[in-house]
Amino acid sequence: MSYLKEKILKDGVVLDGNVLKVDSFLNHQIDPVVLKEISNEFIEYFKDKEITKVMTIEASGIAPAILVASHLNIPMLFAKKTEPSTLSNEDQFSTNVHSYTKNKTSRVLVSKQYLTPDDKVLIIDDFLANGEAALGLIDLVEQAKAEVVGVGICVEKSFQPGRAKIEDKGVDIFSICRIASLENNKITFVEDEH
C-alpha cells in the first residue's frame, strides 16, 4: 500500500456530504514524504509525454504541481482566482470553475504570456470530485491552443462524475488514490472492491 493511502486511512477524516479532509498532510499542512511519493508516481506515469509546463489551480494543487515541475525542470503555472491589477482582460485566458467542497464558483485566469500554442501541459490537482477544476484548466489550455497531455490527480472520489467528464474530453487521467466510497465514515479504495 502506498504511503499516501496509508496517510489517508490513518489521518484522513470523512465529513458529511462525501467530503474527505486531508488537510493534516496534503492541502493545508504538507507532508513532504507524501509529496515526494506523489511527484514520483506522476513523473513515472507521464514520463513519455514531452511536458513543457505543469499547470494547476490555486491553492491546494500548487504543492504537488511545483514538485513535479521541479523534477522535470520546467515551469509550473497556476490559474489565479484573483485578478491582479497588472493583467488586463486582453492579456489573459479566463474561465469559471465551481468548487464542490466550497460550493462556490470562481473565475480563474492565466496570463497569455505564460501559456502558448507550443506548450504541452500536464494538469495536476489534489482532488477530483465533479471534475470542474480540471475541466476549467483544460478550457484554459484549449483557449491558448496548447495541448493537454494529461491530468494527474492525488485523490479521486471515483463515485463522483469527474473522471468520466475528463475521459469524455479524450484526456489521459491518472489518479494515485481512487476512492470508491466514503459511506458510513469508512474509506474504501477502488482496488479494495474487487
Nearest Cα to Cα of residue 99 among 150, 148, 60, 154: 60
Chain mean pLDDT for the chain: 92
Percent of the chain with pLDDT strictly greater than 70:
95
20 is in an annotated binding site: yes
DSSP the chain: --HHHHHHHHH-EEETTTEEE-TTTTSSS--HHHHHHHHHHHHHHHTTS---EEEEETTTTHHHHHHHHHHHT--EEEEBSS--TT--GGGEEEEEEEETTTTEEEEEEEEGGG--TT-EEEEEEEEESSSHHHHHHHHHHHHTT-EEEEEEEEEEETTSTHHHHHHHTT--EEEEEEEEE-GGG--EEGGGG-
131 is in an annotated binding site: yes
Q: State whether the Cα torsion 44-47-49-50 is positive or negative.
A: positive
Class of domain 3-193: alpha beta
Map out the domains of the chain as residue ranges: 3-193
- Global model pTM greater than 0.85: yes
130 is in an annotated binding site: yes
Phi and psi at 146, nearest 5°, equal -90, 180
Provide the pLDDT for residue 191. Answer: 81
pLDDT digits (tens, 9 = 90+) for 95-125: 999 876 678 888 999 999 999 999 999 999 9
27 is in an annotated binding site: yes
Instruction: Tell me what the mean pLDDT of segment 13-29 comes to.
Output: 90
133 is in an annotated binding site: yes
Provide the pLDDT for residue 16. Answer: 85
144 is in an annotated binding site: no
pLDDT digits (tens, 9 = 90+) for 153-185: 999 999 999 999 999 999 999 999 999 999 988
132 is in an annotated binding site: yes
**Which of the four pLDDT bands, split at 50, 70 and 90, describes residue 193?**
low
